[in-house]
Structure 1
Amino acid sequence: MASALTISPPRRAASESAAADLPLAVGPAMTSASDIHNRLSRMPHILTIVSPRDLTTPQIAAFTQLGGHSVYELGPDAADIRFAEAPVWDEVAQLATEHGFDFAIHDEADVREKKFLQADMDSTIIEQECLDELADLAGVGAEVAAVTERAMRGELDFEAALNERVARLEGLPVTACEDVLRERLTLSPGARTLIASMNARGAKTVLVSGGFEIFVREIARLCGFQAHHANLLEISGDRLTGRVLRPILGREAKADILNREVTALGLSHAETMALGDGANDLGMIEASGLGIAYKAKPVTAAAADAAINHTGLHAALYFQGIRAEEFIA
């Protein structure tokens, strides 16, 4: 959902969660996917809206007119609106586009508050792509950024694109990485609040990246992530060799990490949340209970349950029903 115009309905088919939410058919009778969808749609739902500014009464009223019957304030900029039946996704998306809001729609039976958060780093927890910043220092910024864009859109194989871009950095001093860390990287709005709040509520938080350990380790420390995973740049002496050490962490590895954490923590996937922006985040977004696309490429947005395009990462707390007064700044 790179823009609100590309917002898609939730990617999780109704039939995937029906077993947990609905009684099984008895005897030879079969329940069709359309029957399940109709029954799920008639269950109580919650629409969470998040604004970049304080919400006004007319703005809330516009959403309740879609069929909402009660409003619960989460903060000055966010609210839950309850519906007897699921609101029409396209109608909500259109209204959210007009107001510049982010939103999520939940079945009331969903596990709302998550116990595990896994997040991508580049263009998600931070506002930049570290590899592009390194390439800029090496004088090949435009070329590398073009490959990055295509890879994140899913147009190129991630590993091949990573190797191609890193090869352009051969001979770059390792001190360039320190320069990027010190001078070029900024946290996305709400990043620290999201992680601190999740940690305080007993959730495990993990930063995963197809980027590099030298950056990911420091960003994980700054935000308070409990664990991190990343790729390693090969270094000879005090310079980059232009190669990435194997194995390469990409789309499948990100999903594998989430699945291992679920098993180790004794959780269900419904209790997990994943945040990302690019095609290599698809695996973990699809595997999680709440997959959130953050200012994402269209292919990623289409696979997610919700998107954050207009506000900050703190919106992921509101999506879980957590009130602003409970946030840890």
Structure 2
Amino acid sequence: MVSSNNKEVVSELSPILRVYKDGTVERFFNSPHAPPSPLGNTTGVLSKDIAITPDISARLYLPKLASSANEKLPILVYFHGGGFCIESPFSILCHRYINSIVSQSNVIAVSVDYRLAPEHPLPIAYQDSWAALQWVASHNTTTKTTKKDPWLIRHGDFNRVYLGGDSSGANIAHNMAMQAGIETLHGDMKIYGLVLCQPYFCGSKLFGNESLVEKRLLHETWMFVYPDAKGGIDNPMINPFAYGSPRLSQIQCHRLFVCVASKDELRERGVYYCNAVKESGWKGEVDLYEVEGEGHAFHFFDFDGEKAQDMVKRLAAFLC
């Protein structure tokens, strides 16, 4: 297959991206870059970009109330969405969203830039995200083996660490909370809460009102970004309800917030996930929030809309 630019196409995930024989990847949906605000912005939130390792970076956010005091604040470690293959913490969509959450909830945020497929197929995004979480946890120790950030040292409350994400980022957040229930984080740091917005879960079995047509792109995306996944679409990383998956009671946190949208193809599994966690024997608090009349990622594309702003307020209240 040859594209309009006369380069041979070897694979594509339509309508998201295309891979050429020379190794280049053309992405069709990356939003514009947004610079950080090291001197603050209209919300008073400061932000800066840092390197965690040569392969992993992040954008850090500090709310206005903490910029001139030693107040200890909750920490939100956030994983962006984009099907594991597009977007970044440095895009305008992600930046304005996290900036708003930080402003309204008064938390420190670490928005993780994990490596993307297909150049770096899964499980690399999970490995990068775990390394970033361990870096955050290292600030809760006296070790000097890693370069530490002064914002986290001065203002981070490591007894109130939240993981969060949207879509595929919510999938990552869930899997990080599961891994934290098995592996120890530096300084024995614990995850206090988990925030999942329209989480990307899938599987071969249809749930509720799901349809094969709606699930096709979700299935194709998973196999594109993780072609070697054992069990395919029923791998536990994408299908936490599949036979042989780790028990959801192992989630390492005390509070869970899940946001779904009524017109989102991921809605059924988000609701099922909440019920499955409750029935697993997990002892924490589960909060399900449904937005009526909206589809997937509406809070990015209609950010100034009333429903998107209400969702941010609800999420921020959970983090406070």
Taking structure 2 as the reference length, what is the TM-score of the superposition? Answer: 0.30
Taking structure 1 as the reference length, what is the TM-score of the superposition? Answer: 0.30
| Structure that is richer in helix per residue | 1
Larger Rg: 1
Which structure's relative contact order is higher, taking Cα pairs within 8 Å and 6+ residues apart? 1
